[in-house]
């Protein structure tokens, strides 16, 4: 991309190639069984928790490949989407920046927590990470819910590992 293209904004947005993957992350996080079978709270907080959990699982898979730039672009799409959501909730411009900083910090912390469990394929560590990072319903069994979410994320990790980088980026629902 040339300097003038970047300056004038005439070059295609590199995030567009990653956008299907971002949409698939959100789609997976909205899977109803997380909320019905695993007792995840169907609230803004609970949905955010699952988006970050699925996103972290995908990012750990990307880290295992040579797609470092794609990982950064995926994080940018997360920021873009969360920024839009905050504005939709009526958060004003002055506060959005602070909130985005906090959300990125949350994502970074969760990525570290999930990364260690996913790379080790350690179910107990994954359950502990989910328990710390996911909001569950008050009337559900948190331990059962955490185990269910952990199992789903570990299974997703296995499905992602079985896919090529191109298949991952296309995100056509095969995983």
Q: Give the model confidence (pLDDT) of 62-105 as tens digits.
A: 999 988 888 889 988 888 877 666 666 665 665 656 666 777 77
Q: Give the model confidence (pLDDT) of 10-38 as tens digits.
A: 778 888 889 999 999 999 999 999 999 99
- pLDDT at site 75: 87
Per-residue tokens: 9: 């904004």
- pLDDT at site 6: 61
Q: What is the mean pLDDT of the chain?
A: 86
Question: How far does the chain reach from its first CA to its final CA, in angstroms?
Answer: 32
User: Do residues 153 and 95 touch, judged by C-beta distance below 8 A?
Assistant: no
């Amino acid at each position: 991309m040339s300097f003038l293209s970047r300056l004038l904004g005439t070059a295609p947005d590199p995030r567009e190639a990653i956008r299907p993957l971002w949409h698939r992350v959100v789609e997976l996080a909205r899977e109803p069984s997380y909320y019905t079978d695993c007792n995840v709270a169907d609230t803004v907080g609970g949905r955010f928790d699952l988006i970050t959990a699925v996103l972290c699982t995908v990012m750990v898979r990307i880290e295992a490949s040579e797609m470092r730039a794609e990982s950064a672009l995926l994080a940018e799409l997360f920021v873009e989407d969360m920024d839009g959501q905050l504005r939709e909730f009526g958060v004003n411009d002055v506060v959005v920046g602070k909130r985005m900083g906090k959300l990125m910090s949350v994502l970074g912390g969760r990525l570290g927590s999930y990364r260690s469990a996913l790379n080790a394929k350690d179910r107990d560590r994954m359950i502990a990470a989910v328990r710390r990072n996911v909001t569950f319903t008050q009337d559900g069994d948190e331990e059962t819910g955490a185990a269910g979410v952990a199992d789903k994320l570990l299974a997703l990790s296995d499905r992602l590992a079985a896919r090529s980088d191109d298949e991952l980026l296309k995100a056509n629902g095969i995983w």
